[in-house]
Structure 1
Amino acid sequence: MKYMFASDIHGSLYYCRKMLDAFQQENAQRLVLLGDLLYHGPRNDLPKEYAPKEVIALLNQNKNRIYAVRGNCEAEVDQMVLEFPVMADYCILSIDGRTFYATHGHTYNQDHLPPLQDNDILIHGHTHVLKAEQMDGYILLNPGSVSIPKEGNPPTYAVLEDNCFTIKDFDGNTVREMRLP
């Protein structure tokens, strides 16, 4: 099964469309959204084509293929307009015998780890900085940001297929890749 991971859309209609186009082109079965779907937050500039209502409509069209977790910009009102669950702080995914702890990253991250066992995978967004690193006892993954990347990175998403985590830009270029041990 192929999964696509994305984070930090922040209400950008432009990048939401690009993300959903990539999801279709990747032919992934599930889209895992790691929070901050609709709002830009007080520390970020408005993203390109900021239009949360239109983002809602596009995401709701894909509601049966989305797993999502709550970011620090989500509020209860978001759940009233989105037709898939978005208020969980984390989700546990079991993929090919591996445990993925998927969260936004504002609560649990490499500086404040959730309960993990050896070789578990922590995947989160929030920092807007892509990562694919073997840490001491666990693997840290971050697909980067769909709409407001930081540290000179391009807008990115990631796919997981056949134990390979690949971070890509919206031109289909591989930005970083990690084969999971």
Structure 2
Amino acid sequence: MKIFFMSDIHGSLHYLKKALEAFKQENAGYMVILGDHLYHGARNPLPLEYSPKEVAELLNGFAGRIISVRGNCDSEVDEMVLDFPIMAPYSTVLYNGRRLFLTHGHIYNEDRLPSLSAGDVLIYGHTHVPKAEKKGNIFIINPGTITLPKENSPNSFGVLEENVFKIKDFKGRVFKQIALS
């Protein structure tokens, strides 16, 4: 099964539409959102086509296929307008015999790892900087952000299929990848 990953929407209708088009083109079974759904945050500029209400409406159309976690810009009031839960600080998914630990990154991250076993995967957002590497015996992945990239990285998302995690831009170009083996 193919899983689509995105993070840090920050209320941008423009970039969410691009991400949902990529999700459809990838023909993924599920979508993982790594937090910061609706609000842009006090440290971020207003993103292109900032429209939290319309972002919520679009995401609700995919509610049955979304696995999501809370970002530092998410709140209980945001969850009231979404048809899927977003307030858990992390989620875990079993994938081909390994645990995917899904989180936003403001609590757990590569510098503050949760309890993981050899071969497990930490997947987080928050930094707006894509990453795909192995640190010791743990895989560390950040798909970047669809909306507000940093450090000269492109707007990006991730796709996990057949034990390979690929980070892509909206033109479909893979610019980082890692085999989970």
* TM-score bracket for the superposition, by shorter chain length: over 0.9
Q: Give me the whole-angstrom Cα distance separating, in 2, the residues matched to 1:121 and 1:178.
A: 11
Q: TM-score scaled to structure 1, two decimals?
A: 0.99
How big is the shift at 1:178? 1.1
Q: Secondary structure at the match of 1:24?
A: helix
Cross-structure match for 2:73: 73
How big is the shift at 1:177? 1.2
Runs in 1 of length 4+ with deviation above 3 angstroms? none
1:1-181 equivalences in 2 (<5 Å): 1-181=1-181
Q: Give me the whole-angstrom Cα distance separating, in 1, the residues matched to 2:158 and 2:164.
A: 10
How big is the shift at 1:111? 1.0
Gapped regions of structure 1 (runs ≥ 5): none
Q: Deviations over 1:20-53 (max 9, x none)?
A: 0000000000000000010110111111111111
Q: Secondary structure at the match of 1:67?
A: strand
Q: Give me the whole-angstrom Cα distance separating, in 2, the residues matched to 1:5 and 1:95.
A: 14
Q: Secondary structure at the match of 2:144?
A: coil
Q: Give me the whole-angstrom Cα distance separating, in 2, the residues matched to 1:126 and 1:110.
A: 12
Q: TM-score scaled to structure 2, two decimals?
A: 0.99
Q: Secondary structure at the match of 1:8?
A: coil
Task: Give the aligned residue type for 1:74.
Answer: D
Q: Give me the whole-angstrom Cα distance separating, in 2, the residues matched to 1:80 and 1:128.
A: 26
Q: Give me the whole-angstrom Cα distance separating, in 1, the residues matched to 2:87 and 2:10.
A: 16
Task: Give the aligned residue type for 1:10.
Answer: H
Q: Deviations over 1:108-158 (max 9, x none)?
A: 001111111111100000000000001012010000001001000010000
Computed over aligned residues only, the root mean square deviation of the Cα atoms, in angstroms, reads 0.6
How big is the shift at 1:159? 0.2
How big is the shift at 1:67? 0.4
Q: Give me the whole-angstrom Cα distance separating, in 1, the residues matched to 2:136 and 2:177.
A: 19
Gapped regions of structure 2 (runs ≥ 5): none
Q: Secondary structure at the match of 1:44?
A: coil
